[in-house]
Structure 1
Amino acid sequence: MAALPWAHHTSPIRDTDSSTVGRWRPATPAELTVSRRELDAALHDGARPAATAEDAVQGLLLAFEELASNALRHGGPPIEVTVTRTSHSWLLEVSDAAADRPPMPAAGRDPALGGMGLPLVATICADNGWTVEGDRKVVWASMHYTRALSDAPPVPRPRSASSGHSPTY
């Protein structure tokens, strides 16, 4: 899978119907897990539109986990994760203090070795990008409420260590 580019452009403009679903400041992987669970609970307790596809919720949770964990590993503290609901999608924004380090999708790497989070998020989300605001980098993705993950292209499977080919499951 070739790395999908992460364009350097600002996040979408919020509309008049926008509202913040939540804001988190995880400092450790354990705090990130708690944050993701809080988002999951909010989305299953009335913080989503009635016509929302469950696949879209799962996609947002996956994008949340991937982008926030990247910020914890590769960005500079403090990390801030915000989910905003607009009239047709969720906007996920993850900011960190590493404004000088743009998001770098893995290119040509065996998926078993990691580094596939950015291409995965680019595949399942409607749009994505990054920008610098002041001294902070903001990596963002938007997920339409009705987007089914089954509509997205497949994620590559790890190659077998011995043959270099995908294992048969």
Structure 2
Amino acid sequence: MPDVQGPVWRWDVTSVRELAALRAGVRDCLDVDRRGPAAHSPSGERLLLAVEELTSNALRHGELPVRTAVTAGDEGWLLSVTDAAGDRPPAEAVDRDPALGGLGLKLTATLAGTYGWVTDGDRKHVWAYLPFTPGDLPPDAADD
């Protein structure tokens, strides 16, 4: 997992019904943190989609508690979603009808600069590093 230094935003999520609130929470953090791109930027939208995809995967295929964390670095975000199922995440869906679901890891791989997973004891950590898109930083980001 990449070593990213910066503020860490954390959420405990217990059901798919909480995904909209999670997305709103991440959006709020992005809009308050003036060091990086805003939520409505292409970079911010990529992060929001990856947060929702990996968290919903953990809720559907893992075990509670599910924890989502975003570390806001100087050049990108490290997204980490953990759950209490210490086994391998489901395989990426390849050549599957999108209507059948199961495309979260494949979609995240497309959105992220790099991604992966590790186990730590009885917890699985699925992570993605999403670098900022050039031009997405606010003009005053370097001044903060």
Superposed displacement of residue 50, structure 1:
5.0
Say which one has the larger Rg: 1
- Residue 142 of structure 2 is matched in structure 1 by none
- Residue 116 of structure 1 is matched in structure 2 by 103
Greater than 6 Å deviation, 4+ residue runs = none
1:75/1:101 contact within 8 Å kept? no
Q: Which has the higher helix share?
A: 2
| Inter-CA distance 116–51: structure 2 relative to 1 (3 Å threshold) | closer
State percent identity of aligned pairs: 44
1:19-30 alignment runs, 5 A limit: 19-20=7-8, 22-30=9-17
- How many residue pairs get aligned? The number is 134
* TM-score, normalised via structure 2 length: 0.85
* TM-score, normalised via structure 1 length: 0.73
- Residue 140 of structure 2 is matched in structure 1 by none
Superposed displacement of residue 108, structure 1:
2.2
| Inter-CA distance 105–131: structure 2 relative to 1 (3 Å threshold) | same
CA distance in 1: counterparts of 2:130 and 2:89, whole angstroms: 21
CA distance in 2: counterparts of 1:48 and 1:124, whole angstroms: 22
Superposed displacement of residue 14, structure 1:
2.4
Q: Which has the higher strand share?
A: 2
| Inter-CA distance 48–83: structure 2 relative to 1 (3 Å threshold) | farther
Q: What runs of 5+ residues in structure 1 fail to find an aligned partner? A: 1-10, 149-169
- Residue 82 of structure 2 is matched in structure 1 by 95
Letter aligned with residue 33 of structure 2? A
2:53/2:104 contact within 8 Å kept? yes
SS of corresponding position for 1:76: coil
2:35/2:74 contact within 8 Å kept? no
Q: What runs of 5+ residues in structure 2 fail to find an aligned partner? A: 136-144
